[in-house]
Every structure is written in structure tokens, then in C-alpha cells.
Amino acid sequence: MKRRRLTPTYQIGIAAVVLWMLAIAGISQASAAQLTLLAGYQAQLFPVSACADGLDVVPADRKGNSANYGEVDISTIPSACNGLPLTFFLFDDSGDVVVTDSGTASTGVLTFSVSGNYRAGDVESAVVLIDTWPIPTTWSMTAPPPPTGVSCVGIDPATPNQTYPCTYSQSSTTTWVNGGYRYTQVNFNAVTSAPLWQVTFDLSSTTNGFTGMSPVRFVGTYQNVAAAPGYVCSSLPTFVGREANPSWNSSNAEIVFTDDPGYTAGTTICDI
């Protein structure tokens, strides 16, 4: 450990502090002069700093083809931090906490399992405290690839024969059975610079969470999906949907595929 030699100015200052402390204790300077002082001891300055210079934080444990994750990985933790208390926070762009948890730091990659899933795309920044010290932190994520069996294009009605780039992400896919009928709810996000987005689902694909659906009714519960012009509802296993209400300027949508002919929650898109 590096030692710093005290200058006369520091020595005078320390002596004044000692006399002030003695005065508080009720010891006079005369009495203090008779105290036995042990020689050979020098005041030392001990540098105090954080145990790490920088950490990387990324989402982990992606849930199927969705944009949801169940874990947070914190990496590049040096050995100097081993055994120290660690707390992290993930914030959205409004400064609200998306996820937070605490544990004990360890070298390498530290994984936290989140209670309930979170959308990694909602996270704007991360903060990590180790032994109460804020550590410079980098939050990063790679956009998940679109699920197989799904495609997305941008559409401009003014140029109907031309398509534009579109990015599709599937935030969740939920399947349940009720009264012998099967339901699959798909929540997705389609982003394009064109006036409208258009998505194509291959319901025979078993790798996109649809598990080979054979629906007889399509329902858009957010009323923002309609059958694309020219699409025939009997064209299964392919469904082509288009943004239903561009005035909403919304990239989010939700569809329920079901074999229940009486399902009425939402606006019916197709009956087979």
C-alpha cells in the first residue's frame, strides 16, 4: 500500500485536532503534556475506491420467440469484488425501475432470475451498486430474430405494388384450453416507416409458438388487425393481416386464433 509522508502543515493540523478532542474529553493541555506518547507510529492515508471499473449487463433466458426475458446477466466482475453485496436496477426511458434485485458479487458472470418476465426492449439503462459503490455500467441487448413462420412488410396504399422494410417482434404467445376449445393469443409489434404494416403468419409452423393451429375464428382483441385486402379466410394455414386503423399510429397488435366458433371477445376478423 502506498504511504504518503505528512508535511509540517498536515502535522500541525493533526495536532490541533488532537488537542481539540482532548479538550472535549476534559483533559487540559497541562495534563495532556504528561501523557505518555508511544513513538514510532505515523499517520497513514488509506485510499478507498470501488472494486470494479466497469460492468456489462445484458438480458438472458429469452422466453421462446417473445421479446420477454427471465434473467439478467452481469459480467466482467473482478475478483476484488468477490463476496461483496451487489444490487442492480434496470430503468426505462422515463426513469422508472423495470427490474431490481440484490445478491453477492462473484467473479465472472453473475445471473439473476427475475420474478416474472420483463421486456428487454423497455430497458434504457442499468445501475449496479457493489458494496454501495455505483459502478460504471453498460446495458446492451441484441434484438431477437423474428420467429420462424412470420414475416412483416410495410405497405403504402399509394404504391400498392411496392413493399417497405418492417421489423416484427413477438412480445408473447399464450395458449390455453377452455371447454374443449383451444385458444392461442399472439401479441406482437410491427414497426415500419410506411403508412401501414402487414404481417403473414404460417400457422402450421411449430417453432413460433402457434403449435400448428387449426383455427376457425380469428379475433383482433385490440381491433388493430384486419384481414389484408385480397386475403381469403379459408387460406389456412396462412393468415395475412394488416394494420386496421392507421390513425392510431400504433405498432402494437393482438390476435386470438381459436377453434371455438362462438368466441366473441374482440372484433372478429375471420370465420372459417
- What's the pLDDT tens digit per position in 99-144? 999 999 998 899 999 887 888 878 999 999 999 999 999 998 876 6
Distance CA 225, CA 245 (A): 8
- Determine what percent of the chain is predicted with pLDDT higher than 70: 70
Is 80 exceeded by the pLDDT of residue 93? Answer: yes
**Within this chain, do residues 241 and 156 fall inside the same structural domain, yes or no?**
yes
Distance, C-alpha 23 to centroid of its chain: 57
- Domain membership of residue 36 (yes or no) is yes
- The gap from C-alpha 212 to its chain's centroid, in whole angstroms, comes to 30
Query: Which of 30, 47, 64 is where one domain is finished?
Result: 47
**What are the backbone angles phi and psi of residue 206, rounded to the nearest 5°?**
-100, 10
Tell whether 214 and 237 lie within a shared domain.
yes
Residue 101 and residue 67 share a domain? yes
Last residue of a domain, one of 115, 139, 163: 139
pLDDT (tens digit, 9 = 90+) per residue, 23-71? 444 544 444 445 444 445 454 544 457 898 899 999 988 776 556 788 9
Question: Hey, what's the cell of 268?
Answer: 372478429
Judge if 31 and 9 occupy the same domain. Answer: yes
Asked if the structure places residue 129 within a domain, the reply is: yes
Q: Could you tell me if 106 and 169 lie in one domain?
A: no
Residue 81: inside a domain, yes or no?
yes
208 or 173: whose pLDDT is higher? Answer: 173
pLDDT of residue 22: 43
Among residues 132, 137, 134, 86, the alpha carbon closest in space to that of 107 is found at 86
Asked whether residue 249 falls in the same domain as residue 156, the answer is yes
Question: Which one is predicted more confidently, 49 or 200?
Answer: 200
Domain co-membership, 180 together with 266:
yes
Identify whether residues 131 and 214 lie together within a single domain: no
Residue 145 lies in a domain: no
Burial class (CB in 10 A: 0-12, 13-18, 19+), 63: middle
- Mean pLDDT, residues 187-215: 77
What is the rounded average pLDDT of the residues 174-190?
83
Q: How many domains does the chain have?
A: 3
Same domain, 194 and 112: no
Q: Is 141 left (phi over 0), alpha (psi -120 to 50) or beta?
A: beta
Which domain-ending residue is among 84, 114, 139? 139
What share of the chain has pLDDT > 90, as a percent?
26
Structural domain for 12, as ranges: 1-47
Beta strand segments in 22-179, E: 55-62, 68-77, 85-91, 97-104, 108-119, 125-130, 133-135, 137-139, 150-155, 163-164, 166-178
Q: Which residues lie across from 129 on neighbouring strands?
A: 87, 134
Q: Cβ contacts of residue 203 below 8 Å, gap of 6+?
A: 149, 210, 212, 213, 214, 215, 236, 237, 238, 239, 257
Q: Do residues 61 and 43 share a domain?
A: no
Residue 144, in any domain of the structure = no
Q: Do 38 and 63 fall within a single domain? A: no
In a domain, 188, yes or no: yes
Which CATH number fits the domain that encloses residue 106?
A: 2.60.40
Tell me: do 114 and 224 sit in the same domain. no
